[in-house]
Amino acid sequence: MSSETVLTNARLVLEDRIVEGSLVVRAGVIAEVADSRSTVGVDMDGDYILPGLVELHTDHLESHYSPRPGVRWNAISAIQSHDAQIASSGITTVFDCLRLGSDTDEGYQIGEIRAVADALAQARVENRLRADHLIHLRCEVSTANVLDHFADFETDTQVRLASLMDHAPGQRQFQTMEQYTLYFKTKRGLSDEDFARYVTRRQEASARYADAHRKALASACAQRGITVASHDDATLDHVEEAVSHGVRLAEFPTSLEAAKASHKAGMSVLMGAPNVVRGGSHSGNIAATDLARAGVLDVLSSDYIPFSLIHAPFVLADEIDELDLASAIRLVTATPAKTVGLDDRGSLVAGKRADLVRVRRESGVPVVRSVWRQGERVA
């Protein structure tokens, strides 16, 4: 955009309503939002103008960096590939998940994820990125080395969010062994004996490390002002534990009971946008639409499919009578931004960043036509 740009004949998606009007951008910031057409400016042809989407949890960068077991891709190349897909999906702020803590036969070595974070910082300095990238540390608290991995990030200002996870079988995401068996036995081709040893090892590690590591990480994040997320809470005890650790974001609760309690406690409840698009959880847990109907869904995350973040709000608005499109769009813009303290973005409000998405949607899957970050066209 030039020093001043006017977008007119647009459907502007505000936090509480949609208006037909125009929007003025000056020097990368929204200068004016009007519910009337301007006589000058770029005609948006009746398309939606949304705030740039804010993505809090995506594993997508790791899938580019490690596209096959044992394969590591050039980090800068992986970041640019990931970034291009993120931006073209309308995401202008993304928290890239980096996994900390590894079992003896999986995960990353000490220093490896630190090198990816360094490459991300380098890409930012070299102006390679379309979206604004921050870091979300996914901390597997039931591993012996998670605190060692976390220490690699003790001075990294890119880190703004950390989730406390425990994927040991028999609880949280894997309350039954059916899905865990599919994930870790069938897909890996383990024998019954090898799988039994694997399950025992993970359960023993969880019992030994999880509580102490969860407390240590929550304390370190509080000292540094890093937003803390819980992960796969299933019970009221899990929610009470999250409250005690100052958690602000409840990621992927696996039961309606836990979601309601988290929401009531003031946490933002996050669910996967793919869950919405697919019509249910791939792990067999609660459906995101059920939480939306109960009024306890606050944030959506693209998780593993970037484009799902722009697609899912339209699905929710279509399927749930009580949820209009403006409210559905808040799940991917204003609320995630507020949850992590990014008060300069997420809404079409004068004074906020001109992170904008132009979307056309006649029916079905929406089309992202243009994306701007701080007034600069990036897709």
Specify the DSSP element, H or E, that contains 343.
Answer: none
The pLDDT of residue 170 is: 56
- Residue indicated by tokens 């360094």: 118
With beta carbons less than 8 A apart as the criterion, state whether 307 and 336 touch: no
With beta carbons less than 8 A apart as the criterion, state whether 55 and 249 touch: no
The pLDDT of residue 222 is: 97
- Residue indicated by tokens 């929007």: 23
- CA–CA dist 348, 331 (Å, integer): 14
Rounded to a whole number of angstroms, the distance between the first and last alpha carbons of the chain is: 13
Together in a domain, 319 and 378: no
Together in a domain, 298 and 362: no
Together in a domain, 327 and 371: no
Together in a domain, 72 and 164: yes
* Extended strands (E) in 177-328: 227-231, 249-251, 268-272, 299-301
- CA–CA dist 65, 56 (Å, integer): 19
- CA–CA dist 379, 367 (Å, integer): 12
The pLDDT of residue 103 is: 66
Specify the DSSP element, H or E, that contains 164.
Answer: strand 159-165
Residues 190-230 pLDDT 10s: 677 777 777 777 777 787 899 999 999 999 999 999 999 99
Together in a domain, 1 and 59: no
**322, burial (CB in 10 Å: exposed 0-12, middle 13-18, buried 19+):** exposed
Together in a domain, 26 and 162: no
What amino acid occupies position 20?
A: E
Low-confidence ranges of the chain (pLDDT < 70): 1-2, 103-107, 167-190, 282-284
Residue 211 sits in a domain whose CATH number is 3.20.20.140
With beta carbons less than 8 A apart as the criterion, state whether 233 and 224 touch: no
Together in a domain, 46 and 68: no
The tally of domains found in the chain comes to 2
Together in a domain, 124 and 230: yes
298 DSSP assignment: -
The pLDDT of residue 284 is: 63
The pTM of the full predicted model, rounded to 2 decimals, is 0.91
Residue 42 sits in a domain whose CATH number is 2.30.40.10
Together in a domain, 310 and 366: no
The pLDDT of residue 180 is: 60
Together in a domain, 178 and 145: yes
With beta carbons less than 8 A apart as the criterion, state whether 143 and 205 touch: yes
Q: Quick one: tokens of 316?
A: 């929710």
Together in a domain, 201 and 306: yes
Q: Quick one: tokens of 324?
A: 């209009």
**What range does the domain containing 350 cover?**
1-52+345-379
Three-class SS of residue 131?
Answer: coil
Together in a domain, 298 and 354: no
The pLDDT of residue 176 is: 56
